[in-house]
Amino acid sequence: MLSSPEEIREQLSAHGIQPTTQRVIIAQAMLERCAHYSAEDVFVLVNRESPRVSKATVYNTLGLFAERGLVREVIANPDRVFYDTNTTAHHHFFNTTTGQLIDIPAESVKISSLPAVPSGMKMEGVDVIVRVRPDPSRNP
C-alpha cells in the first residue's frame, strides 16, 4: 500500500480532500494495511502512541473519506459501520457470530439478472453480503 506522507497527500488531493495533518495521519494508518475498520478501531490505531486525533475528527474524517470514495462504507453489523480500504468492486462474507467481515473478490460473484431500478432512480451499486457462521457439524 501507499505509505509516504507525500503519496498520501497526493491521494487525498486526488479525491478532493484537503490534506490536513490529521487526515494524513488517518489515511496513512488505514491504508497501511487493507482491512475493515470501525471508527473506534481508527481512533485507537491513530492514538496508539500519543494522542494525535480527537474522536470527533475521526468520525468527521471517516465520513468525508467515504463520501469522496477513498474508503467504502460497509454495513453488515447493526452495531458498527465498517470502513473498507478496498474500494474496488467486491463483496463480503459476514460472520454473524463474530461480526467479522471478509472480502469476496468481485469475480467470484456473478449476478446474471437484476430487476429494473425504480423509475427516476439511478443505481449506485450492488452489495452482496453472504452471511456465514461456524458450522458445528463440520468443525467439532
Partner DNA sequence: CTAACTGCAAACGTTTTGCAACTTT
Partner DNA sequence: AAAGTTGCAAAACGTTTGCAGTTAG
Greatest CA separation found in the chain? 52
Among residues 8, 27, 31, 53, the one that binds DNA under rule CB under 7 A: 53
- Residue 105: all three cell numbers together: 473478490
Q: Considering CB under 7 A, how many residues would be counted as binding DNA?
A: 25
Q: Is 10 in the site for DNA (CB under 7 A)?
A: no
From the CB of 37, what's the least distance to a copy of itself, in Å? Answer: 14
61 binds, among DNA, a copy of itself, none (CB under 5 to 8 A by kind): DNA
From the CB of 95, what's the least distance to a copy of itself, in Å? Answer: 7
Q: How far apart are CA 119 and CA 127, in angstroms?
A: 20
Nearest Cα to 82, choosing from 72, 92, 97? 72
Angle between helices 55-67 and 21-32 in degrees, nearest 10: 70
76 binds, among DNA, a copy of itself, none (CB under 5 to 8 A by kind): a copy of itself
